[in-house]
Structure 1
Amino acid sequence: MTYLTRWDDDTSRPSFGGAARDLVVRAVLPAVPLFGVIVAIGLVIMKPLRGFEAENDVNRWFQDRRTPTGEAITKVMSMVGNTEYVIAVGVLVALVILWRTKAWWFAVVPLIAISVQATVFVIATAVVGRPRPTVERLDPTPPTSSFPSGHVGASTALYVSFVLMATRIGNPTVRRVVIAVCVLAPLCVAFARLYRGAHHVTDILVGFVNGIVCALLAWGYLRRDTGAQSRA
């Protein structure tokens, strides 16, 4: 059984209690060291690097090149990472997958991904407390610090989990299109957040790491029997 085919190789139905235990052991607890690494990076930026002020040059570069068209496009791109959008899309896709597969334990993967990511993000941003870039911000920013990017982390967690799910799509053309769109979505969010002055580059990069790791943890949260396929 490979990591990507784990859900196809073992389609057995878990108990709710067993799935909950696996969630804690295989997704929640492994997110603790992820949180530690993210906070450590943030504190290095804030203390030894004194906020890494040189990064503001990147944000000023984007600010100097803003146009009305660019502002309109990036406003839409940035909205893809909004909390309400991420939750709505995650719940909608989970319901569609539940309807098609009747496998609730598989349908919850994207919801686990965004929930674990959000938990790591909220606590880390409170601990680090990094100021926003010193440029004009085009969006009202939430009452959290700049590090790491919640928009990038949330959209990455959501759409990387969709990419993993899309590997099960039988039609190769549809599969490639869905994967391409899902890869592009968080990249667009990242560009928009830089363009609109909401985050530094390192905020974006660590947001990617947070989202990717949480999506992978969600994909592997449930124990699967590696010998199930051979015994079928």
Structure 2
Amino acid sequence: MAWTIILAVVLGVGWLITHALASSVDPWDNDTSRWFAGERTGDLNEVADVGTFLGETPVGMAVAAVVAAAASLWQRSVRPAAYFALLVAGIGGFYWVTTTLISRQRPPVRILDPGLVPDHSFPSGHVATAIAVYGGTALLCWWLAPRTRPWVWVLVLVPVFVALARLYQGAHHVTDVLTSVCYTTAWLAVVATTLLRRAPAAAQGSSAQGSSAGSASRAVTTG
């Protein structure tokens, strides 16, 4: 149900951007794309290639598979694997349906990522993959390993890097990227709330040990 609602919103936004609001959105989007193109240098081109690589679907799926397998083995539970499977399947569905029904041309600048489908600008699949995989990993670490919480923000920087890289390369308009940020974050929240809302096993174990120790202490005192 949640997936269908999010998809409907994404399609509605896509229709508005490409039809009703096109005359208002396109000039701003195109000017922003031209600004990014004007800032290009050889060194930045190579940096942007790295950002695009991190958001590639095969790379993201490989990272998700490794993290899911490691976390599932560690926890002896299929929950982490199910978590990533649902995340990945969801964003894949969003992208496929939206690019099939919404046609939007790429920005009017030289695109540095060759081979892209010309009218699949909306939304950004790379950004969606990055948020789902790296953002999803950050949430999983937050849930499973509380000690890593001061450092998980580093993973959150990866989707930001990917988004800037796609804008820099002229692959997407700003509104394409922002839409991906919004719908993938919403889907991540839905999946995390559904599958990660229980306390971590480690925390449960600590609580159980604490309760046992407390009971033993009370028994000794009573005795």
Instruction: Mark yes or no: TM-score above 0.5.
Output: yes
* CA displacement at 1:111 relative to structure 2: 2.5
Instruction: Return the match for 1:202 from 175, 185, 192.
Output: 175
Alignment of 1:133-152 (within 5 A): 133-143=107-117, 145-152=120-127
8 Å Cα contact 2:106/2:120 also seen in 1: yes
Question: Where does residue 167 of structure 1 map in the other structure?
Answer: 142
Report the 3-state secondary structure (helix = DSSP H, G, I; strand = E; otherwise coil) of the residue aligned with 2:177.
helix
Alignment of 1:45-194 (within 5 A): 45-50=17-22, 52-54=25-27, 55-143=29-117, 145-170=120-145, 172=147, 174-177=148-151, 179-194=152-167
8 Å Cα contact 1:158/1:215 also seen in 2: no
Question: Where does residue 219 of structure 2 map in the other structure?
Answer: none
* CA displacement at 1:53 relative to structure 2: 2.1
User: After alignment, is 90-99 or 141-150 more displaced?
Assistant: 141-150
Give the number of equivalent residue pairs: 200
8 Å Cα contact 1:113/1:217 also seen in 2: no
**How many percent identity over aligned positions?**
30
Structure with the higher fraction of residues in helix conformation? 2
8 Å Cα contact 1:161/1:216 also seen in 2: no
Question: How far apart, in 1, do the equivalents of 2:146 and 2:192 lie?
Answer: 21
Note the aligned Cα RMSD (angstroms). Answer: 2.3
Question: Where does residue 216 of structure 2 map in the other structure?
Answer: none
8 Å Cα contact 2:121/2:176 also seen in 1: yes
* CA deviation map 1:81-106 (0-9, x unaligned): 10100100000101111121111123
Question: How far apart, in 2, do the equivalents of 1:50 and 1:99 lie?
Answer: 49
Q: Which runs of 5+ in 2 are unaligned?
A: 212-223
Question: Where does residue 26 of structure 1 map in the other structure?
Answer: none
8 Å Cα contact 1:95/1:107 also seen in 2: yes
8 Å Cα contact 1:81/1:151 also seen in 2: yes
Report the 3-state secondary structure (helix = DSSP H, G, I; strand = E; otherwise coil) of the residue aligned with 2:194.
coil
Residue 38 in structure 1 maps to residue 10 in structure 2:
yes
* CA deviation map 1:89-132 (0-9, x unaligned): 00010111112111112332123112101101110121111111
Instruction: Return the match for 2:187 from 194, 199, 214.
Output: 214
Structure having greater relative contact order (Cα 8 Å, sep ≥ 6): 1
8 Å Cα contact 2:166/2:172 also seen in 1: yes
8 Å Cα contact 2:130/2:159 also seen in 1: yes
* CA displacement at 1:225 relative to structure 2: 7.8
Letter of the aligned partner of 2:21 in structure 1? L
Question: How far apart, in 2, do the equivalents of 1:66 and 1:89 lie?
Answer: 29
Question: How far apart, in 2, do the equivalents of 1:47 and 1:91 lie?
Answer: 38
8 Å Cα contact 2:143/2:196 also seen in 1: no
